[in-house]
């Protein structure tokens, strides 16, 4: 019987035993994203574990002299310390040598950029949102904005642009100069969708331009795309303020070192991997840095204590609850409570309680000075009348 339907063909499922399938040496992936904090905040080199920065805390006050022979009053100017404490972040990536030899892709050149991206996300989470922030560091940008009352909820104004401008107005009236924005991914597209009553684009009239990586009201707008942004109702759409008041102190920049010998153990001392005995290599990344936001007294808020003012503001998303105010944490002097752990809820409450006591003391001191000045002025007036 004639046979016409048989022939040699490739396997339709799985890998064909005779047809090779070369592996592409390039991996399809997104480019690593950098840190918003490191790009927006002021970076300074540090030469020691700690660094103390004097911050203007009390402004001098001038007085009218009562008549030709009136007594001239004294004025005072004072500073307080803000202490930056260096902490270390690190990670180790071990890889078996046999796997590296057999891999068609240069593994280390793929791993190193992702470690750098993870570092950026870790730093942004700590200094912008307070997530896993060492307790030796001062208040995070977003936390301080909510405690100080520098916030608004999306939809308060007629559109998002007015929400931003209202927040800028409040910042200016507090004596702070807004000079940049950190925003959620996609905020540029959200702004691009804004239309006037006539349907004309408000934010981007040039439709050939890019909606991202641009500016807002003439100031830089940086979308944070490293995965650290808080999208929830407990987060924000945008953080804006005077970024020069937030400082990242670099003690040792990010560095990588390769190891072919040594052991990796857990926190109980148990050996997890012996590089020499198990033919593995490891890349270790380390970085040492400090963070602090300095909030000097402004001429618009001369009586506010250092724990009651803040150079940043936030636009909260629709559905967010009005955050409660509170004293802002400022690390001003040793001893430093950090022992290798992150801030617990009890530690956070203790820090806030101490800051609240300091703010209360500052307010009482200011009230006492004002009362004393009023009594002195009353006495001078009485003396002039008796003459």
Q: Taking residues 299-305, report their average pLDDT.
A: 78
* Percent above pLDDT 70 for the chain: 73
User: Does 226 fall in a domain?
Assistant: yes
Q: Kindly report the average pLDDT of the chain as a whole number.
A: 78
Q: Taking residues 201-224, report their average pLDDT.
A: 68
User: Does 338 fall in a domain?
Assistant: yes
Cα Rg of the chain (Å, integer): 29
Cα gap 128→251, rounded to integer Å: 20
Domain span at residue 100 reads 36-386
Model confidence, pTM: 0.75
User: Does 26 fall in a domain?
Assistant: no
Structural contact between residues 147 and 326, judged by C-beta atoms closer than 8 angstroms? yes
Is the model's pLDDT at 268 over the cut of 50?
Answer: yes
Q: How confident is the model at residue 340 (pLDDT cuts 50, 70, 90)?
A: very low
- Residue 150 has φ and ψ, to the nearest 5°, of -85, 70
User: Does 312 fall in a domain?
Assistant: yes
- The residue among 135 and 196 whose pLDDT is bigger is 135
Q: How confident is the model at residue 186 (pLDDT cuts 50, 70, 90)?
A: confident
Bridging pattern class, strands 271-274 and 312-316: unpaired
**ω into residue 335 within 30 of 0, thus cis?**
yes
Token pair listed for 378:
């009353």
User: Does 209 fall in a domain?
Assistant: yes
Domain count, the chain: 1
Return the beta strands (E) in 108-191 as ranges. 151-153, 180-183
- The residue among 80 and 50 whose pLDDT is bigger is 50
Q: How confident is the model at residue 13 (pLDDT cuts 50, 70, 90)?
A: low
Q: What is the pLDDT of residue 24?
A: 44
> What CATH number does the domain containing 360 carry?
3.30.2400.10
């Amino acid at each position: 019987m004639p046979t016409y339907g048989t022939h040699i063909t490739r396997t339709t499922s799985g890998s064909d035993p005779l047809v090779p399938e070369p592996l592409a040496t390039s991996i399809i992936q997104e480019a690593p994203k950098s840190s918003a904090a490191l790009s927006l905040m002021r970076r300074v080199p540090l030469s020691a574990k700690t660094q103390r920065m004097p911050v203007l805390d009390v402004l001098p006050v001038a007085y009218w002299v009562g008549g030709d022979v009136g007594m001239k009053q004294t004025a005072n100017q004072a500073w307080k310390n803000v202490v930056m404490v260096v902490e270390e972040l690190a990670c180790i990536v071990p890889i078996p040598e046999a796997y590296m030899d057999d891999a068609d892709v240069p593994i280390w050149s793929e791993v190193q950029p992702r470690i750098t991206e993870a570092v950026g996300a870790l730093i942004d989470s700590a200094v912008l949102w307070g997530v896993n922030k060492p307790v030796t560091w001062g208040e995070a940008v977003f936390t301080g904005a909510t405690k100080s009352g520098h916030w608004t909820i999306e939809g308060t104004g007629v559109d998002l642009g007015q929400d931003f401008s209202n927040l800028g107005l409040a910042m200016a009236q507090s004596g702070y100069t807004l000079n940049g924005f950190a925003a959620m991914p996609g905020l540029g597209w959200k702004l691009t969708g804004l239309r006037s009553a006539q349907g004309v684009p408000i934010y981007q009239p040039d439709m050939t331009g890019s909606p991202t990586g641009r500016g807002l009201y003439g100031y830089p707008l940086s979308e944070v795309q490293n995965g650290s942004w808080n999208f929830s109702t407990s987060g924000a759409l945008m953080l804006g303020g005077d970024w020069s008041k937030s400082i990242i102190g670099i003690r040792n920049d990010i560095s990588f070192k390769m190891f072919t010998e040594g052991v990796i153990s857990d926190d109980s001392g148990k050996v997890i991997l012996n590089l020499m005995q198990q033919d593995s290599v490891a890349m270790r990344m380390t970085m040492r840095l400090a963070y602090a936001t300095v909030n000097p007294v402004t001429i618009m808020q001369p009586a506010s204590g250092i724990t009651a003012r803040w150079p940043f503001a936030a636009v909260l998303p629709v559905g967010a609850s009005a955050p409660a105010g509170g004293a802002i944490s400022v690390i001003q002097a040793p001893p430093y409570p950090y022992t290798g752990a992150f801030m617990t809820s009890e530690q956070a409450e203790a820090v806030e309680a101490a800051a609240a006591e300091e703010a209360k003391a500052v307010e009482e001191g200011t009230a006492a000075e004002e009362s004393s000045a009023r009594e002195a002025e009353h006495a001078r007036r009485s003396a002039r009348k008796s003459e």
